[in-house]
Amino acid sequence: DAGITQSPRHKVTETGTPVTLRCHQTENHRYMYWYRQDPGHGLRLIHYSYGVKDTDKGEVSDGYSVSRSKTEDFLLTLESATSSQTSVYFCAISESGRGHNEQFFGPGTRLTVL
Amino acid sequence: GENVEQHPSTLSVQEGDSAVIKCTYSDSASNYFPWYKQELGKRPQLIIDIRSNVGEKKDQRIAVTLNKTAKHFSLHITETQPEDSAVYFCAASNRGSYIPTFGRGTSLIVHP
């Protein structure tokens, strides 16, 4: 597996609380992504980053924010968690400049919002 | 933007049979088509990919075919084994965008 980790791996929280998920890579890849995975919906992009301090929204960004202050770290924040944000969250990375866009995924974080 | 449709959503086969999963895409600029396999409780991992300058690619028991005119590509698994049971995702992207669009996934079940 590529050097990509996520923390925490599991989290249970209550509605209305803030939650931050961390993705850490040791591959020095430029691109980082946050996806959520729900049954019947596959992988849906939340936000992505194309460099330090450079981020953009994906298709399901409402209720989420991200930050990337270092190449190796990409943080996903739920400002006020809701039950609809119960999901498995995957971080992914990809290298730039090689003409193809293979992604390497982290192990995932299972988030439950009660 | 790109739209990727994947079928079927569930595929059940007997061990030793072949399995075919099909995807269609909408953006003619897409030129990279990866397939990911996700075993239960694990992360998605790339198993094979194809670029738009080739029509077919094989790797042992798996192959991918691409029809650019019809905008569809398929994953073929021959001589299926129980360990092939997993969810398979197709995706499409182009050189100008590092944001792949994923299909919704196919759950492949191989019965011993």
Place of tokens 């939650």: A19
Bridge partners, residue A21, by sequence: A76
Q: Is B82 helix (H, G, I), strand (E, B) or coil?
A: helix
Q: Indicate whether A111 pLDDT > 60.
A: yes
CB contact under 8 A, B103 and A42: yes
**pLDDT confidence bin for A39, thresholds 50/70/90:** confident
Computed over every residue of chain A, the mean pLDDT equals: 93
A51–chain B Cβ distance below 8 A for any pair: no
Q: How far is CA B76 from the centre of its chain?
A: 8
A107–chain B Cβ distance below 8 A for any pair: yes
Name which of A50, A104, A107 is nearest B98 (Cβ-Cβ): A50
Residue B106 burial (CB < 10 Å; 0-12/13-18/19+)? buried
Query: What is the percentage of chain A residues whose pLDDT exceeds 70?
Result: 94
Q: Indicate whether A98 pLDDT > 70.
A: no
Name which of A33, A41, A104 is nearest B104 (Cβ-Cβ): A41
Q: What is the mean pLDDT of residues B28-38?
A: 93
Q: Indicate whether B95 pLDDT > 80.
A: no
In the Cβ-directed half-sphere of A91, how many Cα atoms lie within 13 Å?
Answer: 30
Q: Indicate whether B85 pLDDT > 90.
A: yes
Name which of B43, B98, B103 is nearest A96 (Cβ-Cβ): B98
Interatomic CA distance for residues B109 and B112, integer angstroms: 10
Computed over every residue of chain B, the mean pLDDT equals: 94
Structure tokens at A74: 């990409």
